[in-house]
Structure 1
Amino acid sequence: MGRGSSFLAVLRGTSYQWAGMTLTQRANEKRRLHRLPYCSGGYMNDKYTIALPVFDEWLSSVVAPSGPALRDLGLRAVSPESRLSERQALEQFARYFKSEMHYDNVQYYANGHDNNCVGFLFTSSALDMCTDGQKSMPTRCMGGCCFRKIKDTWVLCWVWIHPFARKQGLLQKYWNCYFLETFGDFAIETPLSPSMESFLQKQQSKHRLVRLGSA
Structure 2
Amino acid sequence: MNDTDGPTRMPFGPDPIYPDWILPVDAAMLQYGIIDEPLFFIPDEPAPEGSPGSEGSSSEPKDPYHVVNACYDYLLNLRWTQVYEDLMSRITDEVFYVMFLNRRALANLNQFLSGYVGEIASDGFDPDEASLADLFVRDGELKRVRPPMWARRAVFYRDRGRCTACGTDLSGLIDTLSVGNYNHMVPLARSGLNDVTNLQLLCENCNSQKSDKVEDPSNRYRR
TM range, normalised to the smaller chain? under 0.3
| Greater relative contact order (Cα < 8 A, sep 6+) | 1
Q: Which has the higher strand share?
A: 1
Q: Which has the higher helix share?
A: 2
Give the TM-score taking structure 2 as reference length: 0.27
Give the TM-score taking structure 1 as reference length: 0.28
